[in-house]
Amino acid sequence: MNLAIDVGNTLAKAALFEQNTLKKQIERLDEQALEYLLAQEKIEKVIISSVNPYSETLANLIPADIDVIKLSYLLPLPIEHLYQTPQTLGMDRVAVAVGATILYPSANRLIIDAGTCVTYDFIDAQNIYHGGSISLGLQMRFRALHEFTAKLPLLSQADYAEGRSFIGNSTQTSMASGVVNGFVKEIEGFIELYEEKFGDLQVIFCGGDAAFLSPKVKPKKAKVEHQKDLLFIGLNTILLYNQF
């Protein structure tokens, strides 16, 4: 069994694979959950992707007889890239790009990872990763309105009412409309830019807010799908690519 661990800005998650088959996901991984997993499953290899020092705490719990790969820009990858500063490239962005090559081979792919931040990552039909964009995630946008003003309340996606007019008729509905509809239009605008430059496009959503946002995004031509396991598929692919 292979274990893929992703330590993000907000929380850690994990997935168990048997070769290419995803067997189990752990939505919130902490020390206790990892120790239980290691005791219950016969894990042979682990890959860790991290943007948070908490990954070291988790890594220290893994027994010495289990092979561990820490995803870094020095690790061989099954894709090429044009990124000028690979040492600063978030490893979660690398993982979703690799996952997209597995699920959508021979397509121009725009991956939208909607989490604490939202990242836009483009990999072309020749499996060359170009880079993309980084912006504020959904909750960060709500928090900015609250924390950088004197009176605006702190809202969340739960305050956005489906089917309501985009014209807010109260402070709360105006804020919810501005954040959610503004975010959706930003996403649609990026999709249009990539379509203008590269032509046909497959858009893949992942991340914690993907299920909320992806149905609202209506590009003119591009196909849009939500792949909640994209990052883990990418991590496992990289692990298999670096068999040792």
List of domains in the chain: 1-70 (3.30.420.40), 73-244 (3.30.420.40)
Q: Per-residue pLDDT averaged across 68-84, rounded?
A: 93
Res 164: pLDDT: 86
Local structure of 4: helix, strand or coil: strand
Res 117: pLDDT: 94
Res 152: pLDDT: 97
Res 185: pLDDT: 98
- Tell me how far apart the alpha carbons of residues 29 and 52 are, in angstroms, rounded to a whole number: 13
Res 22: pLDDT: 96
Tens digit of each residue's pLDDT (9 = 90 or more) over 84-116: 999 999 889 999 999 999 999 999 999 999 999
Task: Note the Cα 36 to chain centre separation in Å.
Answer: 26
Res 23: pLDDT: 95
pTM, full prediction: 0.92
pLDDT at 244 over 70: no
Helices (H) and strands (E) in the chain, counts: 7, 11
> Which DSSP symbol is given to 44?
-
Res 80: pLDDT: 93
If one counts every other C-beta atom within 10 angstroms of the C-beta of residue 224, the result is: 19
Local structure of 198: helix, strand or coil: helix
Res 10: pLDDT: 82
Q: Per-residue pLDDT averaged across 190-211, rounded?
A: 97
Catalytic amino acids? 92
Contact 105, 85 (CB under 8 A): no
Res 8: pLDDT: 85
pLDDT at 6 over 70: yes
